Amino acid sequence: MFKLVHQRLFHISVSLLLFPSSPLLFASLACPMASSTVNRWLRPEVYPLFAAVGTAVGICVMQLMRNITTNPDVRVLKENRTAGVLDNHAEGEKYAEHGLRKYVRNKAPQIMPSVNGFFSKPN
C-alpha cells in the first residue's frame, strides 16, 4: 500500500514539474483509471518524443507569429484590410530578406564540406 501511494505521489510530482496545467494530471487526481494513462506516457523513454514535438510546435508558433506581425501581406485589423493590394515592394523585400537569409547567402551550400569532399572525391 505504501509503495503504491509513494509511486502515485512521485508521478504526480513529475507531472506537476513537466506539465503544470496538464488535463491528464487532473484526471489522474480525480479517478484512479487515468493513472494508467499517466504511467503509460510519462516514462523516461517518451521524453525525447515530447522534446521533438515541443520543438516542432515551437518552430511553427514562431513562424506563425512572424507572419502575423511582420508580413506586409497579412492585415489583421479591419481598417488595414480595406486597403486592398498595396504596391509596397520595399516592405515586401525587407520581409523576404531577413537576417538568416542574409547570413546564409554567401555560405557554401553544404553543411560539412570536408566530409562531403572526402566521400565524393575518388582519391
The amino acid that residue 23 corresponds to is P
Residue closest to 25 by CA, chosen among 17, 16, 33? 16
What pTM was estimated for this model as a whole? 0.48
* CB half-sphere exposure, 106, CA atoms < 13 A: 3
Locus of grid cell 553543411:
111
* 33-89 pLDDT, tens digit each: 567 777 777 888 888 999 999 999 999 999 999 888 888 777 777 777 777 666 777
* 6-36 pLDDT, tens digit each: 566 555 665 555 565 555 545 555 555 567 7
